[in-house]
Amino acid sequence: MMQRLIHILWPSFLVAGVADIIFTTLFDPLEIIYRGEALIEHRIAAYTIGFFVFWLLCIASSAMTCYFQRGADEINRCPLPPRNRPEGCPKRDDGSGFC
């Protein structure tokens, strides 16, 4: 589980850093205006908030990639041993399954 978490967080951290650098190079955070007022008053706060927003977007992207990479065997695996599966389960050992 920890390895999967590292596979999600580390690449998303790196991409978020690059995205934040590119975004703040192209746009001055103090010039982003909403309803006639500056959205954020301090550049450091804008850089920090921007980085975390980019990081959350990249985490979502990496997590979806890991989710969709799973095979059918991993998705359809029953976590219960055969004897503890509910009555009527086709994968139950005692032959009480419907299939």
Answer whether residue 98 is part of any domain: no
pLDDT 10s digits, 23-43:
999 988 888 888 888 888 888
Per-residue pLDDT averaged across 43-67, rounded? Answer: 92
Assigned domain for 94 exists = no
Domain range enclosing 68: 2-84
Indicate if the pLDDT at residue 93 is higher than 80.
Answer: no
Q: Is the pTM of this model over 0.85?
A: no
- Assess whether pLDDT exceeds 60 at residue 97: no
Does residue 99 carry a pLDDT above 60? no
Q: What is the DSSP string of 33-93?
A: EETTEES-S-HHHHHHHHHHHHHHHHHHHHHHHHHHH--HHHHH--SS-GGGSPTT-TT-T
Is 90 a domain residue?
Answer: no
* Number of structural domains found in the chain: 1
